[in-house]
Chains A and B, each alone.
Chain A
Amino acid sequence: MSTSFSLNGKSTTLDADPNMPLLWAVREVAGLTGTKFGCGMALCGACTVHLDGKAIRSCVTPLSTVAGRKVTTIEGLAGKPAKAVQAAWVKLQVPQCGYCQSGQIMSATALLESNSAPTDADIDSAMSGNICRCATYSRIRAAIHAAADAVKV
């Protein structure tokens, strides 16, 4: 059984169980390992990718639901907000263990793409689904504000 969709801008056909969560299809079938497994229940956000530009949890999204749609993973991030987010992450030295950060960056980028000047409350609401056990939250917040400022310039 195969599913065709756009993966990081490239038409892709993956031969896999259509019920397989997108997370495992992207990691083990397409070989893109930047997206992480954290909970398997959409509770932690480590697996966040973009589906048609919106942040979704790939661990609970069956491969079949992305047929004909656009999926972006950390490997395919492009555009001004995304690059500003990644640059701010490095500049403010956000990552510690780093395992959740792909998901954090995907959520933060989706936020900035829909809201160019997020408030702290906007950040809370967009980012509270992404757990960081190292608790890098203060720096994530600061980096999102810094990225928003950088995009404005």
Chain B
Amino acid sequence: MTTQPKAASRSTRREFLKSAGSVGAVALTIGFEWAGATRRTFAGPIAPSAGAAFAPNAFLRIGSDDSVTVIAKHVEMGQGAYTGIATVLAEELDADWTQVRVESAPADAARYANLAFGKIQGTGGSSAMANSWMQLREAGGKARVMLLTAAAKQWKVPLAELTVEQGTVYHAGSKRQAKFGALVATAATLPVPEAVILKDPKDFKLIGHHAPRVDASAKSDGTAQFTLDVMLPGMLVALLKRPPLFGATVKSFDATAAGAVPGVVKVVQVPRGVAVVAKGFWAAKQGRDALQIEWDDSKAEKRSSSAIMEEYRRLADQPALSARKEGDAAKAIQSAARKLSASYEFPYLAHAPMEPLDAVVKLSANSCEIWAGDQFQTIDQANAAHTAGLEPQQVSIHTLYAGGSFGRRANPGSDYIVEAVSIAKAFGADGTPIKLQWTREDDIHGGLYRPMYFHKLEAGLNAGGEITGWRHVIVGQSIVADTAFAGLIKDGIDATSVEGAANIAYAIPNIAVDLSTTKTGVPVLWWRVVGSSHTAFAVETFIDEAAHAAGQDGFTFRRKLLDRHPRMKAVLELAADKAGWSTPLPPGKGRGIAVAEAFKSFVAQVAEVSVGKDGQIKVDRVVCAVDCGTPINPDIIAAQMEGGIGFGLGAVLYGAITLKDGRIEQDNFNGYRVLRMNEMPKVEVHIVPSTEPPTGVGEPGVAPLGPAVANAIFAATGKRIHVLPFSSAGAA
């Protein structure tokens, strides 16, 4: 039986985007579906590499030694993409999981485009499994048919009499069997079938079962290779001194002292600052510390974040663009029996992946070779080529394990890649490999933050406690404006600013969601779960206020409003049930619930908090229910929910990047606090069984965590949180 993915639950926002020219004049045309993929194509075969006997398509190589190498077009940054990709392909191939290994694909959009992005190779929007699903099933299934056909040919038996299990083909009649390796020479001579019958999901042996991570061992013995670990003959290390204010430039510099540091090879000026190139990190660091630079800050952003937020508060009362309008919300609220209003303030957030950004570049007159935990291969290739004065096809990328990203490495301007290439160019483009290494301070000061936002919400309730009107105003910067992704802005509305708010699922007759897009000199970027990192908090805590005003509990109130959204309702019910929603808690404890849809996955969470004698909040437990379509690897789904909860909790408790007269006030993990071991709650994850097409799990787990905890704090203390992080209000 052939399984086909069902059509997406609602129309996709397919856009064709053109570079706005401000990201290094890269003329990319990007076909992009923000919320996931439905389109399917099949990539052509790759040339078999040395020793490979059978490479029927771009994603698979089977060796005569029985090894099965799956080629991953997506970066592995912790989200489990390598394992998920291999699971899907190996399932239809009926491979022996112990023989499966994963290799990263080269940068080549013709073969390795993210089908959710159209023509570009890249990872993001929790789309890796969704866009690979049918592509890799077909890749595996067709290869399996070819191996079976090879066995039929070798043994001169009918194809229909053959079976395959865990990398071995069997012919029961003649009691013959052969491992894949013994069949690859014949299989390689056969044509690739036009079509293949895929497995019935009930026959899955790996999908939905336990396939251990392919990277767990290497990541437990220090052998996993990150960009930090790239050591090439003659390689030098560069540190770049960037301006202290966003938008400032170098006026003049004195490299005398830096050049005198032993080990420093050269000091070069590049568009983003002055780089010290040295024989190793320590020399480069000392050299950079010794640099004397005078900055021109005449065009720099010099405001404080508090002043920017003050402007946002004013803008919330000014006319804005409509992102959704149904009925007449203003009128409904005006005539309501009970009116509610609240505002929410969200700070800039840094991604702060554990591996500070780094890239190795080997640049010569006609080629540029890059090593990086690369998340946006096609865009990085184009930006690197533009910087180097080469053609994109002259740029090759070795994608390595990324030590976290959370969105940071997927940036339209390819900041860290462009810096590394510009340094290699200024150094002389003589083929010397140069590793650009950011420090943690560079990372915290480095911009491309989750934008700051101000939200204002109003609701009206009738005498029966039903919401009759809902008005939501969002004020903040656009993530995609002036980038190659600007086509995501439609009629002035950046879809990433309003997702999670404009598509609010609750049945409310009159809804108005407005957006006021601001401009500041602070560069911004998507951050894990993107728009829902703030919209879910505003929507899910305000709906909780409405429930309280209606005299109902948060679960029952939400549930009644979700009849038209069965999958959202189901995760809400599952989380509430598993958490024992209706069982009482002892005094000093509180329970809160929240639900969100993000990247077509549905997640509900129930948080339990304790309030200490000093008022300190401790999150004890989070029960999470997730519906991500067909669960490919349940243990990785659970891990992503656990991780999303910890990541989200650190952010709502402590996360804030603030500016004082344009200067970033945090430097490292002391000022920019993240979650630590002693603060991690107990987490239980429940996965909804499903045969829908798979959707993402890397990001959605973050969305409901903040509001679930805030609602639990309200239940425990009677206090609502309207300013993030909680620590700014003394609640953490």
Q: Which residues of A contact B (CB under 8 A)?
A: 16-17, 20-21, 24, 28-29, 31-41, 43-44, 46, 73-75, 77, 86, 89-90, 93-102, 105, 123-125, 127-141
User: Given A36-B403, A40-B440, A98-B78, A21–B282 Cβ distance below 8 Å?
Assistant: yes
| Chain A neighbourhood of B332, CB < 8 A | none
Q: Are A89 and B440 in contact (CB under 8 A)?
A: no
Q: How far is the CA of A144 from the CA of B169 in the complex (A)?
A: 41
Q: Tally of A-B residue pairs with Cβ under 8 A?
A: 181
Stretch at the interface among B105-113, B339-347, B353-361: B353-361
Q: Are A75 and B222 in contact (CB under 8 A)?
A: yes
Q: What is the interface of chain B mostly: helix, strand, loop, or mixed?
A: loop
Q: How far is the CA of A33 from the CA of B355 in the complex (A)?
A: 13
Least CB distance, A63 to chain B, in whole angstroms: 9
Closest A-B pairs by Cβ, 10 of them:
A34-B222, A135-B646, A99-B403, A98-B219, A97-B78, A96-B78, A74-B222, A95-B219, A137-B680, A124-B678
Q: How far is the CA of A123 from the CA of B679 in the complex (A)?
A: 12
Name, among A93, A96, A124, the residue most crowded by chain B CB atoms within 10 Å (CB to CB): A96
Least CB distance, B697 to chain A, in whole angstroms: 12
Least CB distance, A80 to chain B, in whole angstroms: 16
Q: Which residues of B contact A (CB under 8 A)?
A: 76-80, 212-213, 215-226, 228-229, 231, 237, 262, 280-283, 352-356, 401-406, 437, 439-441, 635-636, 639-640, 642-647, 649-650, 668-670, 674-678, 680, 682-683
Given contacts A43-B668, A98-B220, 20 further A-B contacts (CB under 8 A): A16-B282, A28-B282, A38-B355, A38-B440, A39-B668, A40-B668, A41-B440, A90-B212, A90-B217, A95-B216, A97-B403, A99-B226, A100-B403, A105-B220, A124-B677, A128-B677, A131-B674, A133-B406, A134-B643, A135-B649
Among B228, B643, B682, contact of A135 (Cβ-Cβ < 8 Å): B643
Q: How far is the CA of A130 from the CA of B649 in the complex (A)?
A: 17
Q: How far is the CA of A127 from the CA of B440 in the complex (A)?
A: 20
User: Given A17-B282, A97-B353, A137–B220 Cβ distance below 8 Å?
Assistant: no
Q: Are B281 and A44 in contact (CB under 8 A)?
A: no
Least CB distance, A68 to chain B, in whole angstroms: 22
| Chain B neighbourhood of A139, CB < 8 A | 639, 642
Least CB distance, B636 to chain A, in whole angstroms: 8
Sample (18) of A-B pairs whose CB atoms are under 8 Å apart: A17-B262, A28-B282, A32-B222, A33-B225, A73-B222, A75-B222, A93-B639, A95-B215, A100-B354, A128-B677, A131-B674, A131-B676, A133-B352, A133-B406, A135-B644, A137-B677, A137-B680, A138-B682
Q: How far is the CA of A36 from the CA of B283 in the complex (A)?
A: 18
Among A28, A101, A127, A134, contact of B647 (Cβ-Cβ < 8 Å): A134
Among B220, B440, B670, contact of A101 (Cβ-Cβ < 8 Å): B220
Q: How far is the CA of A141 from the CA of B670 in the complex (A)?
A: 23
Q: Are B222 and A39 in contact (CB under 8 A)?
A: no
Name, among B77, B216, B223, B283, the residue most crowded by chain A CB atoms within 10 Å (CB to CB): B216
Q: Are A96 and B220 in contact (CB under 8 A)?
A: no
Q: Are A94 and B220 in contact (CB under 8 A)?
A: yes
Least CB distance, B682 to chain A, in whole angstroms: 7
| Chain A neighbourhood of B221, CB < 8 A | 34, 74, 77, 86
